[in-house]
Amino acid sequence: MSKIKMKSVLFDIGGLSYEAHLGKGYDLSIPLLRTADQVNCFYAPPYRAEPVVAGDFIGSTQSGGPVNFFNLHLNPHGNGTHTECVGHIAREAFAINDCLKTFHFTAELVSLYPRQREDGDRVVELEQFMALFEARPLQTEALILRTLPNDPSKLHRSYSGTNPPYVSEEAMDYLVDAGIRHFLLDLPSVDREEDGGLLAAHKAFWRYPDTVIAGRLDCTITELIYVDDEVPDGFYLLNLQIISLDLDASPSKVMIYPCRQVLA
């Protein structure tokens, strides 16, 4: 029996036709490593996996057990690539599994240098996004931001206490007005590490507390991705995968596939 390999897929969104090349996907997720060399932020306890031990049973084949049977200990926000819903900041109990119901989106990958402010903060500013959209209108559901400079150390950094770059409230407002419903970036947060609980960029993105009225309950932010230099800026099909988890955020698998609009 011959094997069928799917190389591309045609799909329609908003009356427009697109072709995505599935033979060349890029994984933007940071693996969860059971070593000290793992990405971490906000002083979260490190991710760890431990075999179940019950009487004579041990859930590790390397330790002589019949199967591997591990308990996982992780914090989605602090231990790697994760996708969050408005439940991250809301007083209401919104769960990512209830908010995110579709998983494929058109996406644009862009690369920007955060600008340094007088106080030393490095921030992605409104003017940078305005320049992007004015140069080439981005009619897309998702925006993927690769910050520069970019290097593989992002896969292993301990960000806690380093005041990483973030996104300004005004820039986030602009993205929402431009139609972006899913925002992905290679930083621990869209907001400043320590901001006194303001969470201005998060609130701007979800239009919180008017999220439901604004129709943004299904919108998501994905943080701590990594986009290798070999991945060119441009247009992609995004597959955003999560665990079916009753929580505000989930570890996520982020795949993108080169995509182009098919003209009639």
CB contact at 8 A, 214 and 207: yes
Q: Give domain status of residue 53, yes or no.
A: no
Q: Give domain status of residue 52, yes or no.
A: no
Nearest by Cα to 197 from 44, 88, 43, 122:
88
**Residues above pLDDT 90, as percent of the chain:** 84
Question: What is the domain count for the chain?
Answer: 1
Confidence grade of residue 1 (pLDDT, cut at 50, 70, 90):
very low
In this predicted structure, what is the pLDDT of residue 34?
86
Q: Give domain status of residue 69, yes or no.
A: no
Summarize the confidence of residues 241-249 as an average pLDDT: 96
Q: Give domain status of residue 155, yes or no.
A: yes
**Mean pLDDT score of the chain:** 94
CA dihedral 12, 8, 254, 34 (to 10 degrees): 160
Q: Give domain status of residue 226, yes or no.
A: yes
Q: Give domain status of residue 110, yes or no.
A: yes
Structural domain that includes position 183:
8-33+79-262
In this predicted structure, what is the pLDDT of residue 134?
86
Q: Give domain status of residue 57, yes or no.
A: no
In this predicted structure, what is the pLDDT of residue 264?
67
Instruction: Give 2-22 pLDDT, tens digit per residue.
Output: 444 568 888 887 788 889 989
* pTM for this model (two decimals): 0.94
